[in-house]
C-alpha cells in the first residue's frame, strides 16, 4: 500500500502508481481520502489486500498502463 485512505481505493500498476498518487493528492484537496495500492505484480495478485481495501472504502478504481504490441 502506497497511501492509506478511507473514501476510495485506487489501484495503480507500473508507471500509473505515480499518476494514482497524484490523483489522490488532488482528491485530498476536495476532501476525498484515497487509498493507493501498488500490487507490484498482477500474478500472483495480492487479492486479500485489494478485497480488504475495497471493503473499507466501498469504492474502487483500477489504473493500468496499456502496452501496444506490434506483430
Asked if 71 and 19 count as a contact pair (C-beta separation under 8 A), the reply is: no
Dist. CA 12–CA 49, nearest whole Å:
13
Question: How do the pLDDT tens digits run along the chain, 71 residues long?
Answer: 899 999 998 888 888 889 889 999 999 999 999 999 888 766 777 888 888 888 898 877 666 665 444 44
Q: CA dist 4 to 9, 44, 49, 67, 69, Å?
A: 9, 22, 12, 28, 35
Amino acid 70: pLDDT: 45
Amino acid at each position: 500500500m502506497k497511501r492509506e485512505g478511507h473514501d476510495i481505493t485506487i489501484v495503480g500498476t507500473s508507471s500509473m502508481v505515480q499518476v494514482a498518487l497524484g490523483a489522490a493528492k488532488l482528491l485530498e484537496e476536495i476532501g476525498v481520502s484515497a487509498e493507493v495500492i501498488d500490487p507490484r505484480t498482477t500474478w500472483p495478485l495480492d487479492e486479500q489486500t485489494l478485497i480488504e481495501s475495497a471493503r473499507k472504502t466501498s469504492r474502487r478504481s483500477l489504473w493500468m498502463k496499456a502496452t501496444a504490441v506490434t506483430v
